[in-house]
Amino acid sequence: MEQTQEQQVVSMPRIGEPAPEFKAVTTQGDINFPSDYKGSWVILFSHPADFTPVCTSEFMTFATMEKQFAQANCKLVGLSVDGLYSHIAWLRTIKDKIEYRGMKDVEVKFPLIEDITMNVAKKYGMIQPGESNTKAVRAVFFVDPKGIIRAIIYYPLSLGRNFDELYRALIAMKTADEFGVATPADWRAGDDVIISPAGSCNAAKDRMDGKDSNIDECKDWFFCTKKLDKDKVLKAVIKG
Ligand code: BEZ
């Protein structure tokens, strides 16, 4: 009996939990996820279908930025519910025929998972029946070097992703880990960072009295920042 939309259980991985494990066939050979990627950040992302225009623009953009992500110790892994030969044909077409926004002759060197069975897509909540039963939405999972999911972003079928934002998010998370800080709205390397809120009345008073040497400025006791030099950030989170 066919299930209604409400009856279909969509399993959704959660931030802070281990990335669900899977083995898959890809355009770069078989992979074991996430164990093959231990020690690296990974962006695992899904797209609705091969040979579609938004996805093509996204793959060209991501492939063009692959080196930039690699320098930040981050590997890319794509997925759609198409088969391997469709993936291969699409990537060949992109390289041989498509020119878009100054990008041409673009070779996609990162693995693209074939997932006709939807095994992986279902595990990662990429099939969202309200949007489509047969296509993965545009999901993005940031997985850290220990295999823990650190951020998740979902987009609908019609909305192409902003890859500068994915890169910004990666650098911000690595900076937060490295320096024990948080990053404010629209933060970029070189901007002031946020110090975690004062945990006691005395700490709050010290901050407002200018007695906490770790802090450069407080808007109020709960909103304090410090300077973090751009070069120091880049040295810490990007390979030379
Ligand atoms: C696209 O990638 O162009 C696309 C895919 C599915 C639905 C709408 C657009």
Mean predicted lDDT score pLDDT of the chain: 95
* 143, 183: one domain: no
Domain of residue 187, CATH code: 3.30.1020.10
How many angstroms separate the alpha carbon of residue 220 from the centre of ligand 1?
46
**9, part of any domain:** no
* 116, 42: one domain: yes
The answer to whether the beta carbons of residues 77 and 139 sit under 8 Å apart is no
What is the CB neighbour count within 10 angstroms for residue 132?
15
DSSP codes, 12-32: ---TTSBPPPEEEEEBTEEEE
Atom of ligand 1 nearest to the CA of 58: 2
**67, part of any domain:** yes
6 has a pLDDT exceeding 60: no
Distance from C-alpha of 121 to C-alpha of 128, rounded to nearest angstrom: 10
* 135, 187: one domain: no
Q: Which of 55, 74, 218, 224 is catalytic?
A: 55
1 has a pLDDT exceeding 60: no
Atom of ligand 1 nearest to the CA of 57: 2
**3, part of any domain:** no
* 116, 212: one domain: no
**15, part of any domain:** no
* 130, 188: one domain: no
Atom of ligand 1 nearest to the CA of 49: 5
Structural domain count of the chain: 2
Q: Domain range holding 233?
A: 175-237
The residue from 104, 131, 159 where one domain ends is: 159
55 is catalytic: yes
**42, part of any domain:** yes
* 118, 189: one domain: no
**143, part of any domain:** yes
Q: Tokens at residue 157, please?
A: 């079928």
Look at ligand 1, atom 7, and give the residue with the nearest C-alpha: 157
**232, part of any domain:** yes
Determine the pLDDT at residue 137.
Answer: 97
pLDDT bracket for residue 132 (50, 70, 90)? very high
Pocket of ligand 1 (CB under 6 A): 48-49, 52-55, 135, 157-158
The residue from 159, 184, 207 where one domain ends is: 159
* 98, 208: one domain: no
Give per-residue pLDDT as tens, 203-226.
Answer: 999 999 999 999 999 999 999 999
How many angstroms separate the alpha carbon of residue 57 from the centre of ligand 1?
10
pLDDT bracket for residue 3 (50, 70, 90)? low
**165, part of any domain:** no
* 62, 102: one domain: yes
How many angstroms separate the alpha carbon of residue 84 from the centre of ligand 1?
19
The answer to whether the beta carbons of residues 126 and 22 sit under 8 Å apart is no
Candidates 52, 126, 133, 134: which one to mutate for ligand 1, based on the most atoms within 8 Å of Cβ?
Answer: 52
| Bigger pLDDT: 71 vs 12 | 71
* 121, 211: one domain: no
The backbone torsions φ and ψ at residue 186, rounded to the nearest 5 degrees and listed phi first, read 60, 20
